[in-house]
Structure 1
Amino acid sequence: MIRAATLALVLMMPLPCFAQSVAEPDGYRTEQYRAPVPATLAGGTVVDVDEAYALWMAGDVTFIDVLPRAPKPKDLPEGTVWREQPRLSIPGATWLPNVGYGQLAQETVTYFEEGLAKATDGNKEAPVVFFCLSECWMSWNAAKRAVDEFGYNQVYWFPDGTDVWTMASYPTEEIEPE
């Protein structure tokens, strides 16, 4: 009986966190995009899931999803049906896929800058939340680029992304890329 009670107490105790401490790089992350991320973003504000939800509920913030979109395989056999993977995201978010890579072609930079301007009505003072999945450098890169290259002043980074958003039972909806 005592053993069961002791086991129950032990199972209820929080586990120690073994997450690595990752320093912000000077530039953009260009490889291993699914890896531990920094706890900070110079020039931006890092938010957890509850803070992101509060910003979303307030309704005055633009959410930018930067999850990459898988390309259609080049050598699909004739007659093969290709179905895009649906993206369940934060309701109302703008999906700008593939803008979080560390090195972007000029065409992608233009797409990103124009998509961000459209989502914020061209207001660089508008608050913007960048996200992807948990432990995904794509959102960090995108948020950094918005601050450093595009001049946005109220940048929020939500590093936990839709993984933790969904685990918190916050609403999602299927979105299409911009």
Structure 2
Amino acid sequence: RAERLWRAGAAFVDVLPRPPRPTTLPPGTIWRDAPHDSIPHARWLPNTGFGELAPQTEAYFRHGLSAATGGDPDKPVVLFCQRNCWMSWNAAKRALALGYRHVHWYPDGTDGWGEAGLPFARAEPAGP
């Protein structure tokens, strides 16, 4: 079903958290984020699936969801992470609370997508 929605042009939103820079790195150490592959054309909104969000992160989620859907609360939107990652469930509930009417939760996330032999694309966090 997720593949059908993807092919039909639904908005896909990846909420996988972005690992923070380790606090134990010595000053001046260069830190590079690990690459993140996601479902092609998905908007990556890292750290927006936690149960409680800081106001700034909640605003980032609202803005990112609006950008992903073109501001259309009737556009189908699919929220995902990885299998057994409940952050996408939290984000889906948050999207419903924001008035989006066609919200889908993809519980198998990128794990299920890959197992189905579907493509991936390198993702970068969406801007503010």
| Secondary structure in structure 2 of the residue aligned to 1:151 | coil
Q: What is the alpha-carbon distance in structure 1 between the residues aligned to residue 51 and residue 90 of structure 2? A: 6
Q: State how 1:33-112 maps to structure 2 within 5 Å.
A: 51-59=1-9, 61-112=10-61
**Counterpart residue number, 1:19:** none
**Counterpart residue number, 2:116:** 168
Name the aligned partner's letter for residue 113 of structure 2: W
**Counterpart residue number, 1:158:** 106
Deviation at 1:79, TM superposition (A): 4.0
Q: What is the alpha-carbon distance in structure 1 between the residues aligned to residue 27 and residue 91 of structure 2? A: 36
Q: What is the alpha-carbon distance in structure 2 between the residues aligned to residue 99 and residue 79 of structure 1? A: 29
Name the aligned partner's letter for residue 161 of structure 1: G
**Counterpart residue number, 1:138:** 87
Number of positions where the alignment pairs a residue of Structure 1 with one of Structure 2: 126
Name the aligned partner's letter for residue 98 of structure 1: N
- TM-score (structure 2 length as normaliser): 0.94
Q: State how 1:120-131 maps to structure 2 within 5 Å.
A: 120-131=69-80
* CA root-mean-square deviation: 1.0
Deviation at 1:132, TM superposition (A): 0.2
Q: What is the alpha-carbon distance in structure 1 between the residues aligned to residue 14 and residue 75 of structure 2? A: 16
1:115-150 Cα offsets, whole Å, 9 max, x none, are 1111111111111000000011100000011002x1
Q: State how 1:16-27 maps to structure 2 within 5 Å.
A: none
Name the aligned partner's letter for residue 85 of structure 1: A
The answer for unaligned runs of 5 or more in structure 2 is none
The answer for unaligned runs of 5 or more in structure 1 is 1-50
Paired-residue identity, % = 56
Name the aligned partner's letter for residue 166 of structure 1: G
Which one has a bigger Cα radius of gyration?
Answer: 1
- The runs of at least 4 aligned residues of structure 1 exceeding 4 Å deviation read none
Q: What is the alpha-carbon distance in structure 2 between the residues aligned to residue 102 and residue 130 of structure 1? A: 15
Q: What is the alpha-carbon distance in structure 2 between the residues aligned to residue 111 and residue 88 of structure 1? A: 21
